[in-house]
A = this chain, B = another copy of it.
């Protein structure tokens, strides 16, 4: 079963995504932050009080990768690590007012980017692409769990 288009899509996805990530990175920088930190703040805005491990799992990040992001965010006074009263190992994460203001302001940028990048795409194509991405994501998550039996039961 030869399906060269599938191979091509993997390749294109990896390459296009690097371009897109870099582009978003530049746009974020114009507003004094970075794509990764933006992502953390967005997630925190939706759900505060998480500990680092939970947030890392939600974001498909390694805890250590998140920890260093949080270091930078904290040093800019954009997030807060509060000690968990019930677990002395853990912190609970909160946005500061500054952090909240920043991420709120960035919503417009997100819309801008989407319009720039996808302004000409048709609604149906976007729907379809979302579905395909979702499939891919699911497959990768499955494969990764196979190899890294982190926690038997996963919060799917």
Q: Which residues of B contact A114 (CB under 8 A)?
A: 3, 6-7, 9-10
**Nearest Cβ distance between residue A15 and chain B, in whole angstroms?**
7
Quick check: is A18 within 8 A (CB to CB) of the other chain? yes
Q: Which residues of B contact A60 (CB under 8 A)?
A: 15, 18-19
If over half of A's interface residues share one DSSP class (helix, strand or loop), that class is named, otherwise mixed; here it is helix
**Nearest Cβ distance between residue A104 and chain B, in whole angstroms?**
15
Question: Which of these binds chain B: A45-53, A78-86, A87-95, A120-128?
Answer: A120-128
Copies of chain A in the complex: 2
Q: Which residues of B contact A11 (CB under 8 A)?
A: 110
Q: Is the CB of B14 within 8 A of A130?
A: no
**How big is the A interface, by class?**
35 or more
Quick check: is A54 within 8 A (CB to CB) of the other chain? no
Q: Is the CB of B35 within 8 A of A118?
A: no
Q: With A6-B118, A115-B6 known to touch, is A134 a contact of B20 (CB < 8 Å)?
A: no
Q: With A14-B20, A118-B136 known to touch, is A5 a contact of B130 (CB < 8 Å)?
A: yes
**Nearest Cβ distance between residue A100 and chain B, in whole angstroms?**
19
Closest B residue to A59 using CB positions: B15
